[in-house]
Amino acid sequence: MEQYVIKGGNPLVGEVEIGGAKNAALAILAAAIMTDEMVYIENLPDVRDINVLLEAIKEIGAVVERVSPTEVKITGSTISDISVEYEYIKKIRASYYLLGALLGKYKSAEVPLPGGCNIGSRPIDQHLKGFRALGASVDILHGAVVAKAENLTGKHIFLDMVSVGATINIMMAAAMATGNTIIENAAREPHVVDVANFLNSMGASIKGAGTDVIRIQGVEKLHGTTYSIIPDQIEAGTFMCAAAATRGDIMVKNVIPKHLEATTAKLEEIGCQVEEFDDAVRVVANKRLTRTHVKTMPYPGYPTDMQPQFAVALTLAEGTSIVTESIFENRFKYADELSRMGANIKVEGNTAIIDGVEKLTGARVSAPDLRAGAALVIAGLAAGAVTGILHTVFNIPAILSGILTQISLWSINLRIMSGKSNLPLLNSETIISFFVSRSGSST
Ligand code: UD1
């Protein structure tokens, strides 16, 4: 078990370089097996979920060569098995992308139902509906999705709700179907566009990604490519919220400012100054923040993955703020934890009502999921003279590890320890237990 000790209470001031987008990278790695030629992927985030997915890809027979922590070569010509092991899948949500990739290429896939952060019920019915529409038979057998088709045929598919995962999965399978597919009510997230661009660089014909209608002309074969993944908008947004909550000044570099507009707009509303550059944003918070309302929505709305981090800033803003979560029903589990740190936050259904306080203080808290963990780290950094200890039952996942590494580089008081902490709980101390969901996955 690792533990993280953070001494907060100082404004975060510095520069941070954002890595590749985890959620784009996971889909792109799965899609990389769709050609028999070598694919070279750059700007990978060096996080646990990526390593788990690469292991799963290796396990089914692909050649995976990690050139550096941020680069990998994948060759799918040696794939011998279309059945993915539960061992890998239970750890990460994005394993479901292997369904679309294997089904598209081999017309057959067997992938256990995915794990992921416990933030709601998270069905994958829309993914399966899409595969069936393309002509596959899809069954759930012994906890796995078994999808098979003689041939996939393009179809006009209407998604019942906007789903990032379903849009990408159907796009992958349809890229190698016969004929044309149209996905209506498609997700417009930047990583949907990134995956479409990646597939197109392999010879696919996908148009309209980034709008709610995606048109795919199936091709018989995909070829090798070299591709660089877009920057992670959630990691960037997390640092932006950290600047706000600590009344700091952070230059967030290597970002696409357009992807951050929802966060930028909300931070400006609560009194931060946000300056946009070509590939950077600077967030300065030099006075007490003020209240606002925020509701999570599919892109370009305010991202659900940024909801807990922004809520921390609102706990310190003057006045009453309302946070409405409209994507996942179980995303306020961090609220009680923030209350222990002195926040005044009450949850009613999918709404949190936050009465801003002047400061947060230390307490024992536990983080129920990845983004909630990031939010509690921000709270620990903002809390005056507080020591935060972050326990993990698994490795600190994904983005959080990047954030903690960066914070330690800034010489904020962060210590990483192994083993169980024997430190006494003093009144200036926060103990954050990080319980990743049963599977240890991240979002
Ligand atoms: C992905 C992201 C996650 C992010 C979420 C929304 C990954 C690994 N995870 O998750 O970080 O929070 O997008 O931006 O990329 N739904 C259904 N049926 C389906 C699919 C989805 O009912 O078949 C519902 C979900 O329960 C949820 C909503 O649609 O309420 C959106 O889910 P979706 O966009 O698919 O999220 P994920 O792919 O799980």
Out of 28, 327, 328, 350, mutate this one to test ligand 1's pocket (max ligand atoms within 8 Å of CB): namely 327
Which tokens is 431 given?
A: 């103990």
Tell me, in angstroms, the distance from the centre of ligand 1 to residue 417's CA.
34
Poorest-confidence range of 1-10, 87-96, 400-409? 400-409
Kindly compute the dihedral angle of the four CA atoms of residues 314, 45, 161, 353, in this order, to the nearest 10 degrees: -10
Pick the more confident residue, 428 or 194. Answer: 194
Percent residues over pLDDT 70 in the chain: 83
Pick the more confident residue, 400 or 145. Answer: 145
pLDDT at residue 117, rounded to an integer: 65
Out of 49, 96, 122, mutate this one to test ligand 1's pocket (max ligand atoms within 8 Å of CB): namely 122
Tell me, in angstroms, the distance from the centre of ligand 1 to residue 139's CA.
21
pLDDT at residue 197, rounded to an integer: 98
Tell me, in angstroms, the distance from the centre of ligand 1 to residue 93's CA.
10
Q: Which of 105, 94, 99 is nearest to 33 (CA)?
A: 105
Asked if residue 441 has pLDDT above 50, the reply is no
Burial status of residue 32 (CB atoms within 10 A of its CB: 0-12, 13-18, 19 or more): buried
| Partners of residue 138 on adjacent β-strands | 147
Asked if residue 397 has pLDDT above 60, the reply is no
Tell me, in angstroms, the distance from the centre of ligand 1 to residue 163's CA.
5
Asked if residue 2 has pLDDT above 50, the reply is no
- 30, 50, 60, 117: the active-site residue: 117
Out of 127, 161, 163, mutate this one to test ligand 1's pocket (max ligand atoms within 8 Å of CB): namely 163
Strand ordering across the sheet containing 344-348: 293-295, 320-324, 351-355, 344-348
Q: Which of 327, 287, 277 is nearest to 307 (CA)?
A: 327
Asked if residue 413 has pLDDT above 70, the reply is no
Rounded Cα distance, 54 and 44, in Å: 11
Q: Whose CA is nearest to atom 33 of ligand 1?
A: 163
Q: Which of 135, 159, 163 is nearest to 147 (CA)?
A: 135
Name the pLDDT band for 92 (thresholds 50, 70, 90).
confident
The count of residues in the chain is: 443
Q: Are 438 and 91 in contact (CB under 8 A)?
A: no
Kindly compute the dihedral angle of the four CA atoms of residues 427, 429, 431, 432, in this order, to the nearest 10 degrees: 120
Asked if residue 4 has pLDDT above 70, the reply is no
Asked if residue 80 has pLDDT above 50, the reply is yes
Average pLDDT of span 363-367: 72
pLDDT at residue 213, rounded to an integer: 98
Asked if residue 84 has pLDDT above 60, the reply is yes
Tell me, in angstroms, the distance from the centre of ligand 1 to residue 303's CA.
11
pLDDT at residue 196, rounded to an integer: 98
Pick the more confident residue, 320 or 369. Answer: 320
For residue 187, give the ligand 1 atom closest to its CA. 34
Which tokens is 313 given?
A: 């800033």
Asked if residue 168 has pLDDT above 70, the reply is yes
List all residues 6 or more positions away from 315 whose beta carbon is below 8 Å from its beta carbon. Answer: 338, 343, 344, 345, 354, 356, 357, 360, 379
For 192-232, the pLDDT digits (tens) are 999 999 999 999 999 999 999 999 999 999 999 999 999 99
CB atoms within 10 A of CB 125: 11
Q: What's the mean pLDDT when you consider all of the chain?
A: 85
Rounded to a whole number of angstroms, the CA Rg of the chain reads: 22
Kindly compute the dihedral angle of the four CA atoms of residues 50, 3, 440, 9, in this order, to the nearest 10 degrees: -80
| Partners of residue 392 on adjacent β-strands | 434
Tokens 């907060």 sit on residue: 8
pLDDT at residue 232, rounded to an integer: 92
Tell me, in angstroms, the distance from the centre of ligand 1 to residue 122's CA.
7
Tell me, in angstroms, the distance from the centre of ligand 1 to residue 117's CA.
11
For 281-323, the pLDDT digits (tens) are 999 999 999 999 999 999 999 999 999 999 999 999 999 999 9
pLDDT at residue 132, rounded to an integer: 98
For residue 167, give the ligand 1 atom closest to its CA. 35
For residue 122, give the ligand 1 atom closest to its CA. 26
Phi, psi of 365, deg, nearest 5? -140, 165
Rounded Cα distance, 56 and 84, in Å: 7
Percent residues over pLDDT 90 in the chain: 63
For 38-77, the pLDDT digits (tens) are 999 999 988 778 988 999 999 999 999 999 989 999 999 9
pLDDT at residue 254, rounded to an integer: 92
Pick the more confident residue, 434 or 42. Answer: 42
Rounded Cα distance, 353 and 347, in Å: 6
Poorest-confidence range of 110-114, 116-120, 244-248, 349-353? 116-120
Rounded Cα distance, 339 and 311, in Å: 12
Poorest-confidence range of 99-108, 130-139, 433-442? 433-442
pTM exceeds 0.85: yes
For residue 443, give the ligand 1 atom closest to its CA. 11
Tell me, in angstroms, the distance from the centre of ligand 1 to residue 366's CA.
24
Q: Whose CA is nearest to atom 7 of ligand 1?
A: 23
Largest CA distance in the chain: 66
Which residues surround ligand 1 with Cβ inside 6 Å?
23, 26, 93-94, 120, 122-127, 161, 163-166, 187, 304-305, 327-328, 443
Tokens 């300065």 sit on residue: 284
Q: Are 14 and 391 in contact (CB under 8 A)?
A: no
Rounded Cα distance, 144 and 135, in Å: 19
Q: Which residues of 296-317 are buried (b: 16+ CB within 10 A; e: fewer)?
A: bebbeebbbbbbbbbbbbbbbb
Distances (CA, A) of 126 to 78, 383, 443: 30, 42, 18
CB atoms within 10 A of CB 376: 29
Q: Whose CA is nearest to atom 21 of ligand 1?
A: 163
DSSP reduced 3-state for 97: helix
Reported as type and span, the H/E element at residue 241 is helix 233-245
Name the pLDDT band for 127 (thresholds 50, 70, 90).
very high
Pick the more confident residue, 398 or 227. Answer: 227
pLDDT at residue 394, rounded to an integer: 31
For 231-260, the pLDDT digits (tens) are 999 989 998 999 999 998 888 999 999 999
Average pLDDT of span 104-117: 86
Out of 99, 124, 126, 164, mutate this one to test ligand 1's pocket (max ligand atoms within 8 Å of CB): namely 164
Phi, psi of 46, deg, nearest 5? -90, 75
Poorest-confidence range of 79-83, 334-338, 425-429? 425-429
Q: Whose CA is nearest to atom 3 of ligand 1?
A: 443
| Partners of residue 211 on adjacent β-strands | 209
For residue 27, give the ligand 1 atom closest to its CA. 15
pLDDT at residue 347, rounded to an integer: 97
Q: Is 117 a catalytic residue?
A: yes
Q: Whose CA is nearest to atom 9 of ligand 1?
A: 443
Poorest-confidence range of 66-70, 98-102, 408-412? 408-412
For residue 125, give the ligand 1 atom closest to its CA. 23
